[in-house]
């Protein structure tokens, strides 16, 4: 039996998604494929809740981030960036790698980004071209106030780019209604597909910036190139490269399933599971890393039982109970575990099995501690 995945992505996928990966290889061009490709984009628009352009970029979420930053901004541009964890830091690297300057607004790991700080910065520094922030900071399970930051950014008429790699379809997100200009995500988390596709969604404001951004410094990351194929090869090959058809077919099945359940229903299901897990953790004595009100519905970070190390908890749960969870990040790596409950494949039974496994760990750990001579 493969282990139950309760990590923050990739997620276990539904049987129909897995079956699709075993289907014969398809050609990535021609009428039949173009219809599948376009239908998948339409499903994605429903999940991003946008009427904008969506691109499936073979690669991962980070590639989509790289493509969006590369395409929307010019070298030398200053981009206000919220950082309160590892993935915020990754955006700093991506912005710098593209020759732009991140102007960092930082909050501690356990605190959400502050929309008022963005408001002040944008008021003081009109040279800033755009704002970037991570929705669900996967390193800590914290959900940032994207809607409020979007409001502030739009007030100052700047572009807003959001990393929704781990939060999409796991926490409320309404790109057009909230006024987010570009969103980046990936196929392997809340959407319920397998890894392999970076996703980029851009509204007309973002697209106008792409058109004005000057010469590209990359071939693959240049979204104007991707759009050229949409416009000029629409009838047989609306993308510049060979697409991973099997991965896209699997993603399409996952999206169909997600939308059949209904986005809101999926979110409610995630919330119910999260509450069940968190109540159980507290009962076991595993304190939540941040208050529940700050956590996303699809990821939980909790301190290990007192005295225990995350590596030991993770190993025990894997070896004794065949469930894969993961450690914390950075400064709290040894003290914190992270438990993913995203996608379609987490049930109440999985949550209860994990809680049993953690209870078992606590009992064994306490029993060992009571026998100091055995270490």
Ligand X SMILES: Cc1ncc(COP(=O)(O)O)c(C=O)c1O
Which residues contribute to the site for ligand X (CB under 6 A)?
A: 9, 60-62, 87, 134, 136, 138, 163, 165-166, 186
- Say how many C-beta atoms besides its own lie within 10 A of residue 268's C-beta: 13
Give the dihedral sign, CA 314/83/148/45.
negative
Tokens of 111: 């605190």
Task: Give the nearest distance from C-beta 106 to ligand X in angstroms.
Answer: 16
Whichever of 186 and 305 has its CB closer to ligand X, that residue is 186
DSSP secondary structure string for all residues of 310-355:
HHHHHHHHHHHH-EE-EE--GGGTTTEEEEE--SS---HHHHHHHH
Task: Give the nearest distance from C-beta 296 to ligand X in angstroms.
Answer: 10
Task: Give the nearest distance from C-beta 36 to ligand X in angstroms.
Answer: 23
Task: Give the nearest distance from C-beta 81 to ligand X in angstroms.
Answer: 13
Whichever of 40 and 60 has its CB closer to ligand X, that residue is 60
Tokens of 296: 């996303």
Whichever of 163 and 181 has its CB closer to ligand X, that residue is 163
Strand pairing of 53-58 and 197-202?
A: antiparallel
The span from the CA of 56 to the CA of 188, in Å, is: 13
Whichever of 186 and 328 has its CB closer to ligand X, that residue is 186
Tokens of 98: 């593209």
Task: Give the nearest distance from C-beta 186 to ligand X in angstroms.
Answer: 4
Task: Give the nearest distance from C-beta 166 to ligand X in angstroms.
Answer: 4
Strand pairing of 326-327 and 101-106?
A: unpaired
Task: Give the nearest distance from C-beta 96 to ligand X in angstroms.
Answer: 16
- Are the CB atoms for 286 and 359 separated by under 8 Å? no
Strand pairing of 142-143 and 136-137?
A: antiparallel
Report long-range pairs for 211-214 (Cβ below 8 Å, ≥24 apart). Answer: 213/71, 213/72, 213/73, 213/74, 214/74
- Are the CB atoms for 172 and 29 separated by under 8 Å? no
Whichever of 143 and 258 has its CB closer to ligand X, that residue is 143
Whichever of 61 and 192 has its CB closer to ligand X, that residue is 61
Whichever of 137 and 355 has its CB closer to ligand X, that residue is 137
Task: Give the nearest distance from C-beta 51 to ligand X in angstroms.
Answer: 24
- Are the CB atoms for 251 and 16 separated by under 8 Å? no
Residues 6+ apart with CB under 8 A from 367: none
Whichever of 60 and 183 has its CB closer to ligand X, that residue is 60
Return the closest-CA partner of residue 270 out of 333, 200, 340. Answer: 340
| Omega before residue 10 within 30° of 0, cis | yes
């Amino acid at each position: 039996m493969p282990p139950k995945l309760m990590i923050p992505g990739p997620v276990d996928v539904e049987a129909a998604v897995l079956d699709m990966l075993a289907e014969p290889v398809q050609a990535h061009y021609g009428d039949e494929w173009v219809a599948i490709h376009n239908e998948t984009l339409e499903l994605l628009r429903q999940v991003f809740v946008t009427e904008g352009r969506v691109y499936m970029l073979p690669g991962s979420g980070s590639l989509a981030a790289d493509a969006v930053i590369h395409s929307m901004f010019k070298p030398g541009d200053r981009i206000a960036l919220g950082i309160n964890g590892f993935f915020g830091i990754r955006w700093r690297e991506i912005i710098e790698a593209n020759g732009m300057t991140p102007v960092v607004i930082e909050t501690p790991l356990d605190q959400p980004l502050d929309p008022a700080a963005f408001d002040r910065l944008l008021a003081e520094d009109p040279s800033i071209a755009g704002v970037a922030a991570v929705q669900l900071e996967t390193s800590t399970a914290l959900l940032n106030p994207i809607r409020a930051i979007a409001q502030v950014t739009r007030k100052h008429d700047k572009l807003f780019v959001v990393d929704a790699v781990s939060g999409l379809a796991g926490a409320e997100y309404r790109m057009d209604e909230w006024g987010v200009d570009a969103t980046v995500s990936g196929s392997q988390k809340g959407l319920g597909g397998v890894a392999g596709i970076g996703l980029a969604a851009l509204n007309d404001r973002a697209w106008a910036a792409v058109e004005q951004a000057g010469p590209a410094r990359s071939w693959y990351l240049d979204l104007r190139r991707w759009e050229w194929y949409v416009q000029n090869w629409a009838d047989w090959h609306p993308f510049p490269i060979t697409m991973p058809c099997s991965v896209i077919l699997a993603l399409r099945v996952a999206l169909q399933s997600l939308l059949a359940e209904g986005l809101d229903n999926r979110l409610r299901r995630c919330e119910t599971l999260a509450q069940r897990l968190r109540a159980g953790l507290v009962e076991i004595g595993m304190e939540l890393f941040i208050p529940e009100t700050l956590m996303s519905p699809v990821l939980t970070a909790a301190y290990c039982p007192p005295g225990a190390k995350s590596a030991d908890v993770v190993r025990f749960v894997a070896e004794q109970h065949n469930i894969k969870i993961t450690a914390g990040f950075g400064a709290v790596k040894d003290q914190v575990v992270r438990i993913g409950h995203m996608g379609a494949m987490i049930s109440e039974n999985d949550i209860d099995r994990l809680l049993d496994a953690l209870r078992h760990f606590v009992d064994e750990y306490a029993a060992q501690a009571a026998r100091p001579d055995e270490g």
